[in-house]
């Protein structure tokens, strides 16, 4: 099986044009690794099991665990108001700690701001969160929020009197022997680490020059780690995490808090984890993205199985990770994950969807070719103009189709995001007022 894994990883990396990848599998009580390629096309070093990749939003599982450790200590209550711990934060609604961890706070996605690299970076970020739009009353709906997790990280700081990073590294990573997991650039730059790559319109790859966002975003996505360390993290949450958190609280993190509709993220959200059934078997996991880097971790608790995939090129790192995870589920467990099939194109229904949608950071445009539907997501020009560092590139339009039933759900059918799902929202009169994509809400722009 080790040889089959290595062959699959190499062939898939070549197929998708990824410079460097690292994959790890925990199955039948054994670790297996397959690495291919290089850390950078400009200064190449071979990728190995200890090479550091940016994890993006997988970091949120560490933030959630840090909060649950404080729950175990009796220092944080999940149902307590955020302002109980952060009285200086003026919020428009009564948001609880659990709302933050379950993405039901109602806070918009987040802020694109650089608050420096000092120990006050997170405090400075959170001080601006009150400016974010509120998408819905707390608890009313799930909407993925980077800002919500950064606020949760700030609670960790206020309760402990330590920096967020110190708490996570000392209470989670060090007890598990995770010697290749870091936040600080000074720690990362002295080890072997991957840089992101983005593919231009002419098909060539270039180095992603904004390597990582600023420290204020760390709780939502600032960790760098190796595939070997991420398998340790998966094993911790599969039940080997007694040194980090009790089995009862580890299990609590994998219990549904809110159901998800029309989402490839999962069927429900636990505490820090997305939950979904694959071929009738419950899994938990999380994915993450940085500028030209993509990560995915998926675990199957009943089978004591986990797979981690890391890739250093966009946008094809997403389908690479997806293909490897699906192969591993089938090869090791006999589980097959299938995408639902969209309906045939219907022009009248398509015209109802065409238009522009927006959130604080991005604009989403839907159009029709006359025989199919497409959508395009772009960072707003004013956001790019205001940014003092390079932002990730926009993507070409994707084809998508509506799914059966009267749920308003759809699936992307082409490009790097093929298989991602979402849904349209209607008001009481039946008019479409928004669209969800990757857990983020876009409001319809008036004509």
If DSSP codes are grouped into helix, strand and coil, which group holds residue 294?
strand
Q: How many CA atoms lie less than 13 Å away from 200 in the CB half-sphere?
A: 6
* Sign, Cα dihedral of 171, 176, 178, 181: negative
Task: Using the CB atoms, write b or e for 300-311: b if 16+ within 10 Å.
Answer: bbebebbbbbbb
Give the integer Cα–Cα distance in Å for 203 and 215. 32
For helices 59-72 and 146-160, give the axis angle rounded to 10 degrees: 40
Task: Using the CB atoms, write b or e for 204-218: b if 16+ within 10 Å.
Answer: ebebbeebbbbbbbb
Give the integer Cα–Cα distance in Å for 51 and 24. 12
> Tokens for 356?
């522009």
Active site residue 57: yes
Residues ≥6 apart with Cβ < 8 Å to 420: 264, 411, 412, 437, 438
Of 57, 105, 172, 225, catalytic: 57
Cβ atoms of 341 and 421 within 8 Å: the answer is no
Q: How many CA atoms lie less than 13 Å away from 298 in the CB half-sphere?
A: 25
Burial bucket for residue 52 (CB in 10 Å: 0-12, 13-18, 19+): buried
Give the integer Cα–Cα distance in Å for 390 and 385. 10
Return phi, psi of residue 445, to 5°.
Answer: -85, 130
Cβ atoms of 309 and 230 within 8 Å: the answer is no
> What are the start-end ranges of the H helices in 140-202?
146-160, 164-168, 185-188
Neighbour count for residue 255 (Cβ, 10 Å): 11
Catalytic residues: 57
């Amino acid at each position: 099986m080790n040889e089959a894994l290595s062959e699959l990883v190499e062939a898939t990396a070549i197929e998708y044009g990824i410079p460097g990848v690292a994959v790890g599998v925990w199955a039948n009580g054994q670790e297996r690794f397959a690495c291919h390629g290089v850390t950078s096309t400009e200064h190449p070093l071979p990728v190995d099991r200890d090479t550091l990749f940016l994890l993006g939003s997988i970091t949120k599982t560490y933030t959630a665990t840090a909060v649950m450790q404080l729950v175990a200590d009796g220092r944080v209550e999940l149902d307590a108001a955020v302002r109980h711990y952060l009285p200086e934060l003026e919020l428009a609604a009564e948001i609880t700690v659990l709302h933050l961890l379950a993405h039901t706070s109602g806070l918009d996605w987040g802020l694109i701001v650089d608050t420096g690299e000092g120990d006050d970076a997170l405090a400075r970020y959170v001080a601006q969160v009150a400016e974010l739009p509120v998408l819905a009353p707390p608890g009313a709906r799930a909407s993925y929020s980077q800002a919500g997790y950064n606020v949760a990280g700030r609670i960790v700081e206020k309760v402990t009197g330590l920096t967020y990073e110190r708490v996570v590294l000392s209470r989670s990573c060090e007890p598990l022997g995770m010697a290749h997991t870091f936040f600080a650039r000074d720690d990362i730059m002295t080890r072997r680490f991957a840089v992101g790559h983005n593919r231009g319109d002419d098909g060539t790859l270039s180095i992603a020059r904004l390597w990582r966002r600023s420290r204020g975003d760390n709780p939502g996505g600032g960790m760098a780690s190796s595939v070997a360390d991420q398998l340790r993290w998966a094993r911790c949450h599969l039940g080997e995490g007694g040194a980090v958190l009790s089995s009862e609280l580890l299990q609590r993190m994998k219990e549904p808090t809110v159901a998800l509709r029309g989402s490839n993220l999962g069927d429900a959200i636990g505490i820090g984890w997305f939950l979904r059934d694959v071929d009738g078997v419950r899994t938990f996991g999380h994915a993450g993205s940085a500028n030209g880097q993509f990560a995915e971790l998926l675990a199957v608790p009943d089978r004591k199985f986990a797979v981690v995939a890391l890739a250093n090129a966009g946008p094809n790192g997403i389908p690479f990770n997806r293909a490897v995870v699906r192969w591993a589920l089938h090869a090791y467990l006999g589980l097959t994950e299938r995408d639902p099939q969209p309906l045939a194109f219907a022009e009248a229904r398509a015209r109802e969807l065409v238009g522009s949608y927006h959130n604080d950071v991005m604009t989403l445009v839907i159009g029709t070719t006359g025989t199919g539907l497409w959508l395009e997501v772009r960072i707003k020009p004013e956001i790019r103009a205001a940014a003092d560092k390079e932002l990730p590139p926009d993507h070409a339009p994707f084809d998508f189709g509506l799914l059966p039933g009267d749920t308003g759900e759809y699936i992307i059918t082409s490009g790097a995001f093929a298989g991602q799902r979402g849904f349209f929202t209607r008001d009481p009169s039946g008019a479409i007022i928004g669209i969800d994509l990757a857990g983020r809400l876009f409001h319809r722009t008036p004509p």
